[in-house]
Amino acid sequence: MEHFSIDGATGRSFELRIEEVDSISEELVRTLIEIDLQTFSESTFSHYTARAFLGNGRVLLLLADGHIIGSCVCMRTWGDPDEVLILSMGIRPGWRGRGLGLSFVQGILHRLSQIGAQAVSLLVSLDNRRAIRVYEETGFSVQEVMDRDSRTGEAFVRMRCSLVDRPELSIVE
Ligand SMILES: CC(C)(COP(=O)(O)OP(=O)(O)OC[C@H]1O[C@@H](n2cnc3c(N)ncnc32)[C@H](O)[C@@H]1OP(=O)(O)O)[C@@H](O)C(=O)NCCC(=O)NCCS
C-alpha cells in the first residue's frame, strides 16, 4: 500500500492499492469498458468479452481511497502458458501524468511474478511515448516493430519483460 499526494491546493493524500478481481459484478464490467473507452477510440471490450476476461483472465485494479482509477487486463499466452499478455492497461484521465503509471505497472509485474508468470508481453502504439516510457522504466524492451495497421495507419511495437531473476521493484501492494 502506498500513500499518494495529488498536486493542488488541497494537499490531499490518497491511499493507493492494487487489487486482483476475484468476483464479477455488472458494475465491474461497466468500469472496465468505461476506463478503456476513456483512452482508446475503438473499444477493446464488448460487454461479453469484458465478462469473459473478468471471469477467466486476470484483471488487476488500481484503487485510490477504494475507488477504481486504473485497470489492467491480462491473459496467459497460448504458446507459452508461463508468459502473460497484457491486453489493456490504463489509468483514468484525471489521474495520469503523476507517476502512477510507473507504480501501477511495477505492482502488476510483482503480482504476476508472485503467481508464477515468467514473462510479460504487450503491444503498444509507437506514438504512445508516455506508455512506452513507463514500460521501459519497469524493465520492458522493444522486441519488434509491427507493420502499420492498413486501416488506421497506427504502428505498434511489441514489448516484453522477463520476470525471471528480476530485482524487487514493487511499490504499491
Ligand atoms: C500509459 C499510462 C498508464 C501512464 O501512466 P501515467 O501515470 O500517466 O504516467 P507517468 O506519470 O508515470 O509518466 C510516465 C513517464 O512518461 C513521461 N511522459 C509523460 N508524457 C509524455 C509524453 N507525451 N512523451 C514522452 N514521455 C512522456 C513522464 O515524464 C514519465 O517519465 P519520467 O518518469 O521519466 O518522468 C497512462 O498515461 C494511461 O492510462 N494512458 C492511457 C492508456 C494507455 O496508453 N495505456 C497503455 C497502452 S496499453
Residue among 14, 105, 130, 136 to mutate when testing ligand 1 (max atoms within 8 A of CB): 130
The answer to whether position 168 is within a domain reads no
pLDDT value of residue 2 = 67
Residue 167 counted as domain residue: no
pLDDT at 6: 61
- The answer to whether 163 and 117 have CB atoms below 8 angstroms apart is yes
- Residue 64 forms part of a structural domain: yes
Is residue 173 a part of any domain in this protein?
Answer: no
Output 151 or 92, whichever has higher pLDDT.
92
In a domain, 86, yes or no: yes
For residue 111, what pLDDT is reported? 95
Task: For residues 116 and 137, give the distance between their C-alpha atoms in angstroms, rounded to a whole number.
Answer: 22
Q: Give yes or no for a contact between 138 and 106, defined as CB atoms under 8 angstroms apart.
A: yes
Predicted pLDDT at 151: 87
Q: Do the domain assignments include residue 73?
A: yes
Residues with Cβ < 8 Å from 95, sequence gap 6 or more?
64, 69, 70
Provide the whole-model pTM: 0.90
* Alpha carbon distance, N-terminus to C-terminus of the chain: 5
Cell of 149: 495497421
| Phi, psi dihedrals of residue 54, rounded to the nearest 5° | -65, -35
Mutation test residue for ligand 1: of 133, 140, 157, the one with most atoms within 8 Å of CB: 133
Host domain of residue 19: 2-162
| Predicted local confidence at residue 115, as pLDDT | 92
What is the C-alpha separation between 32 and 149, in angstroms, rounded?
A: 25
Domain with residue 126: its CATH number is 3.40.630.30
In 39-155, alpha helices (H): 47-56, 100-114, 129-137
Mean pLDDT value across residues 22-41: 93
Provide the number of structural domains found in the chain: 1
Q: Is 72 among the domain residues? A: yes
Q: Which residue has the higher pLDDT, 172 or 128?
A: 128
Q: What is the DSSP letter of 94?
A: G
pLDDT digits 0-9 by tens, 34-76: 999 998 878 899 999 999 999 999 999 999 999 999 999 999 9
Give distance in angstroms: CA of 91 to centre of ligand 1.
10
In a domain, 170, yes or no: no
Q: Please say whether the beta carbons of 85 and 71 come within 8 A.
A: no
Q: Which residues line ligand 1 (CB under 6 A)?
A: 39, 88-91, 96-102, 124, 128-131, 133-134, 137
pLDDT tens sequence across 114-164? 999 999 999 999 999 999 999 999 999 999 999 888 888 889 999 999 999
Confidence (pLDDT) at 9:
43
User: Residue type for 122, please?
Assistant: L
Taking a C-beta distance cutoff of 8 angstroms, is the pair 98, 6 a contact?
yes
How confident is the model at residue 167, as a pLDDT? 72
Q: What atom in ligand 1 is closest to the CA of residue 105?
A: 3
